[in-house]
Amino acid sequence: MTFQIGDWVQGHTGNGELVHGYIESIGEFQGIIKLYVIHSDHESIRNKYVGVREQGLKKLEPLAMGEAQTIRTMIDAALAGRDEAWFHELAAELKTVAEHDTAGATPMDGSLNPRLNFLKF
């Protein structure tokens, strides 16, 4: 399987630890991948980098983009990681989704803000 930097993966380390995270770099020799661990069954390696053999990983399917809440959650992750480029990319995507979702909506029909649903006549 071909992996790329930034791919979300799941697998096991050489010590048998279950890991879930994203690829930070790919080694040219012996198929070792540097993985940033988001979740693991061993708490001591969470939020750290580990080396994992390529054979021990499975690529995860990307989340379907488009839902505003998903994008907002990813924006929070970009801010937490201080990734300015990703933040700007996600902010532009959120703007596009928001414009599409509110096309044709009027401010008084409650569709722009669900808390205003009582205004429906």
DSSP result, 53-78: EGGGEEEPPPPPTT-HHHHHHHHHHH
16 φψ region: left (φ > 0), alpha (ψ -120 to 50), beta (else): left
**Could you give the CA distance from residue 91 to residue 44 in angstroms, rounded to a whole number?**
33
CATH architecture group of domain 7-59? Roll (2.30)
Q: How do residues 28-81 score in pLDDT, each as one tens digit?
A: 877 899 998 988 998 899 889 999 999 889 998 866 555 788 788 888 888 877
Mean pLDDT score of the chain, rounded to an integer?
79
pLDDT at 57: 92
Choose among 8, 31, 30, 28: nearest CA to 20.
8
The number of angstroms, rounded, from the C-alpha of 83 to the middle of its chain's C-alpha atoms is 12
Domain ranges of the chain: 7-59, 67-101
Question: Residue 92: is its pLDDT beyond 60?
Answer: yes
pTM, 2 dp: 0.55
